[in-house]
Chain A
Amino acid sequence: MKQNKIDFIKLLKGYKSGWIAISHDFRHVLFHGKNLKEAMKKAKNAKEKVYYFPAGESYSNFVG
């Protein structure tokens, strides 16, 4: 079974910095914070599991 594609292009639209909190189905941004602490504070009372991801404008030029 194939997992649904997680489209960060769509999710990160309008967010160039900070952290976003994403819904458990990976389709929506529920909260945004200028840093992880703020995003977690906003998501504290969320009724569903949230996934956090750093917002940025470019994810290339990474050499692991």
Chain B
Amino acid sequence: MIVPYSPLPDFRDKIILAPLIPVTFRNKNFEFSTFALVDSGASGAVISTVIAEALNIKWEKIPVTQGFSVGGSFRFHRFNSLRAIIYDNELMADHEFALNVSIIEAVSPYKCILGQKDLFQRAKITFEGYKSQLEITFREYN
């Protein structure tokens, strides 16, 4: 499916374009739908603590781990029982998969990121910045 980059407000440039896709997370009986930044530079999925709370994840009780990014270090909590559901409007079907997620204690304009260990394992992703769009082709599983 082809997903146009989403225009977002910005102080400096007035508009920025970001590869955001609708996603629903499920933790047992709790669901939360939002928009995830598709980030080829992210090693794995990240959600903020507020999203974890919306999914009834007691993140404070999970041991903290120190992570590193290009900007420095951050604190996160590993959670391995989450499922992600992405609707493919081309196939008119849901793609659902399990993912390990890092619940991050940090301030960021984006509260949810999908990366290499999750979405990029499930689909071929082609960024076409010159067209302001990305193409997501999910792998077929029997």
Contact = CB atoms under 8 A, between A and B. Distances in A.
Interface of A: 1-9, 12, 26, 35-37, 40, 49-54, 56-60, 62-64
B11 A6 contact: no
A6 B18 CA distance: 10
A53 B71 CA distance: 24
* Majority-rule SS of A interface residues: loop
A6 B36 CA distance: 12
Nearest to B18: A59
Given A1-B1, A3-B1, A26-B22, A64 B11 contact: no
Contact of B54 (A26, A36, A59): A36
Chain B interface residue number, banded: 35 or more
Contacts, number: 93
Contacts of B108: 62
Q: Which 8 A-B pairs have the closest CB atoms?
A: A59-B8, A5-B4, A58-B11, A1-B90, A2-B2, A59-B109, A64-B39, A51-B33
A2 B88 CA distance: 10
Contacts of A64: 37, 39, 41-42, 69, 113
8 contacts: A4-B4, A7-B6, A56-B109, A59-B109, A59-B110, A60-B12, A64-B42, A64-B69
B13 interface: yes
Contacts of A6: 4, 6, 20, 22, 35
Contacts of B50: 35-36
A9 B109 contact: no
A60 B39 contact: no
Interface in B1-39: 1-4, 6-13, 15-16, 18, 20, 22, 24, 32-35, 37, 39
B95 interface: no
B33 to A, nearest CB: 5
B25 to A, nearest CB: 11
A26 B33 CA distance: 12
